[in-house]
Amino acid sequence: MAFQSCSNSKREIPTHPDSPIFKDSAVVVLTRKIEASPQTAKYYYDRGLLLHRMQQDTFAIRDFEQAAKLDSNRAEYFSAVGDLMFEHKDLSGSLSWIQRAVQLNPNDPTARLKIAKLFVFTKEYPKAFSEINIVLRQNAMNSEAYFLKGLIYKDLKDSSKAISSFQTAIQVDPSYTPAMVQLGSIFAKQRNPIALKYFENAFKADTSDVFPLYAKGMYYQEKEMPEDAKNEYRIAIAHNKNYDKAYFAIGFILMQQDSIEQALQQFDKVTGINPTDAKAYYNRGLCQELLGKKAEALLDYKQALNFDRNYAEAEAAIKRLKNKN
């Protein structure tokens, strides 16, 4: 990404476009440090970390790049750029930055596991295993390394090895929630009730993430236990009122139970939380149609198609309603 600069006082200093985020008091403190010492890489790195926490990644990556430009011997600067590229799905761009971080610090397990993640995403599993095994030879108690092995085995449809790897990750770190969720998902597909325990433990370990509660609801829904499922979804909503997946799931169950008006209310909440959710508009349209509100249904179907041009069901619903007129 390009790094922009603008004039400040009597000299040119690397900075950012005029944006409200740079009026934040914490950002201002770091910006002033940069202005006072524009060749100090750490100040850019620190501001980049802050901007990333504030979800301002376009600006954050520019600071990380500038830090790496000013001090090309610090692995964490290159790793930070690679991390952000990875988060934003620029896998090919990410690799060179993280590889540079490993070159600077070959014993850094974090950087090596980031490379392993890239290879997991691109399904280059032998390369991923190579990086993972280097880390485990350095430290056999690295929970993330076992977790990544589990992801590979899961994708290779080797459930027994996947389960073993995820369980090892938890043995190494009993609070490692990603492994708990993965184990819950595997056992849920096997319709094994132990899945519920893993989801419960995952939520206890991190109550800020309600996905495990939602996953419990999905388990009950797959087992055709709709009331238990709705109860879990409501618990998820109680912890996070903006968790749109839970509202959608409740709405879907209510439609199956012929509680159309109540279902419509749930889909209405989803569109309020996520105004671009094509499936929510489509399902709300179905409710409108079933309630005899053809005009409202048509609007919802059109909105669904607007957000997903390939939504065949929405297109068919529009044709169906037009043919009824």
Q: Which two structure tokens, joined as six digits, stand for 77?
A: 């600067």
* φ, ψ at 245 (rounded to 5°): -60, -35
Instruction: Give how far Cα 59 sits from Cα of 29, 34, 39, Å.
Output: 16, 14, 18
Mean of pLDDT values over 30-59:
94
- The ranges assigned to domains in the chain are 263-325
**CA dist., res. 11 & res. 37, Å (int):** 12
Q: Residues near 293 by Cβ (< 8 Å), separated by ≥ 6? A: none
pLDDT of residue 17: 56
**CA dist., res. 94 & res. 212, Å (int):** 30
Amino acid at 172: V
Q: How many CB atoms are closer than 10 A to CB 101?
A: 27
Q: Which of 94, 130, 133, 93 is nearest to 114 (CA)?
A: 94
Percent of the chain with pLDDT strictly greater than 70: 94
Tell whether the model's pLDDT for residue 125 goes beyond 90: yes
DSSP string, 49-66: HHHHHTT-HHHHHHHHHH
For the segment 262-315, what is each residue's pLDDT rounded down to a tens digit?
999 999 999 999 999 999 999 999 999 999 999 999 999 999 999 999 999 999
Tell whether the model's pLDDT for residue 149 goes beyond 60: yes
pLDDT of residue 209: 96
The average confidence (pLDDT) of the chain is: 92
Confidence at 12, pLDDT banded by 50, 70, 90: very low
Tell whether the model's pLDDT for residue 108 goes beyond 70: yes
Tell whether the model's pLDDT for residue 258 goes beyond 90: yes
Q: Which residue has the tokens 């979804």?
A: 233
Mean of pLDDT values over 170-184:
97
For the segment 52-84, what is each residue's pLDDT rounded down to a tens digit?
999 899 999 999 999 999 999 999 999 999 989
Cβ neighbourhood burial of 136 (10 Å; 0-12, 13-18, 19+): middle
Confidence at 110, pLDDT banded by 50, 70, 90: confident
Tell whether the model's pLDDT for residue 107 goes beyond 90: no
Mean of pLDDT values over 88-114:
90
Q: How many CB atoms are closer than 10 A to CB 3?
A: 14
**CATH number corresponding to 263-325:** 1.25.40.10
**CA dist., res. 215 & res. 226, Å (int):** 13
- Local structure of 237: helix, strand or coil: helix
For the segment 227-244, what is each residue's pLDDT rounded down to a tens digit?
999 999 999 999 999 999
pLDDT of residue 15: 52
